[in-house]
Amino acid sequence: MTPVTTAVLSALAEEQRGLLERLQRPQRVNRAGREFWLGELHGTPVVLALSRIGKVAAATTTTTLIEAFGAQRLVFTGVAGGIAPGVQVGDVVVAQAFVQHDMDASPLFPRYQIPLYGRERFACDAVMSEALLAATRAGLSHLGLPATVHHGLIASGDRFVSAAEEARQLRAALSEAGHAPLAVEMEGAAVAQVCHDYAIPYAAVRTISDRADDTAHVDFPKFVTEVASRYALAIIDEFVRRMTK
């Protein structure tokens, strides 16, 4: 039986670097103006890619991973802004589902509903998400970084949220509609929608780089270079190792 190809999608080059260094039999292929890296991690066939930033870019990368590289499951690592109380910088969120906080086709469709899908949320694969939760806990504790790990809803939109009042309003409006998110970022819901279209299992993990408040733009780059890359490598290495067993 041909082994399943796992796509590992990173939001940032810093997060991909460590994985690329460990990639066995690496082969670079250019497609859709993007670089894709084929190879093996712990003997498992993988394809590594950068999502790029924003929902459309992430959807193009995801579609290419599935259509051109035959990805049969997809795992995403990135950073996010924490917007629920208690979701702090350095915590980690494993997604249960995604909502688009900037989707608004009202009054034609209810606020947040994706037109013609009849739903506001796309759920992640439960089995893969459990494995990602376990790999996150184990990977970070091996690193000596026992971070708080949350599991819940993430909101995506084409906006870097960098004002406390905006973050409060965004969370209040989503909560009112029954979609209280733990964190915000800019790609996850698009990847989830494409994976739904192709019936490809998907799981995602985001390290909290900022609180989506007035210092978010300062906290974000500092966190990415100093912490996120090490977290991403530890988590994905453990995740792939566990799937290979």
Of 39 and 78, the one with the shorter C-beta distance to ligand ADE is 78
Q: How far apart are CA 143 and CA 105, in angstroms?
A: 45
Of 53 and 123, the one with the shorter C-beta distance to ligand ADE is 53
Of 102 and 104, the one with the shorter C-beta distance to ligand ADE is 102
Contact region for ligand ADE (CB under 6 A) — 91-99, 117-125, 156-164, 168-176?
156-164
**Least distance (Å) between residue 61 CB and ligand ADE:** 17
Query: Quick check: 204 binds ligand ADE (CB under 6 A)?
Result: no
Half-sphere exposure of 75 (CA within 13 A, CB side): 27
How many Å from the N-terminal Cα to the C-terminal Cα in the chain? 16
Of 212 and 234, the one with the shorter C-beta distance to ligand ADE is 212
- Dump the DSSP string for 12-27: SHHHHHHHHHH-EEEE
Query: Quick check: 99 binds ligand ADE (CB under 6 A)?
Result: no
Name the residues annotated as catalytic: 15, 210
Query: Quick check: 185 binds ligand ADE (CB under 6 A)?
Result: yes
Using CB under 6 A as the binding criterion, the count of chain residues that bind ligand ADE stands at: 14
Q: Are 189 and 144 in contact (CB under 8 A)?
A: no
Closest CB to ligand ADE: residue number: 81
Alpha helices in the chain (DSSP H): 13-22, 55-67, 126-142, 164-176, 188-198, 216-223, 229-244
Q: 33: buried, middle or exposed (CB in 10 Å: 19+, 13-18, 0-12)?
A: exposed
83, 86, 91, 96 alpha-carbon torsion, rounded to 10° = -70
Please give the residues from 10 up to 69 whose contact with ligand ADE meets the rule CB under 6 A: none
**Least distance (Å) between residue 213 CB and ligand ADE:** 8
Please give the residues from 205 up to 224 whose contact with ligand ADE meets the rule CB under 6 A: 209-210, 212, 216, 220
121-123 vs 44-50, strand pairing mode:
unpaired
Query: Quick check: 160 binds ligand ADE (CB under 6 A)?
Result: yes
**Least distance (Å) between residue 184 CB and ligand ADE:** 5
Of 101 and 121, the one with the shorter C-beta distance to ligand ADE is 101
Query: Quick check: 161 binds ligand ADE (CB under 6 A)?
Result: yes
Q: Are 188 and 124 in contact (CB under 8 A)?
A: no
Q: Interface residues with ligand ADE (CB under 6 A)?
A: 79-81, 160-162, 184-186, 209-210, 212, 216, 220
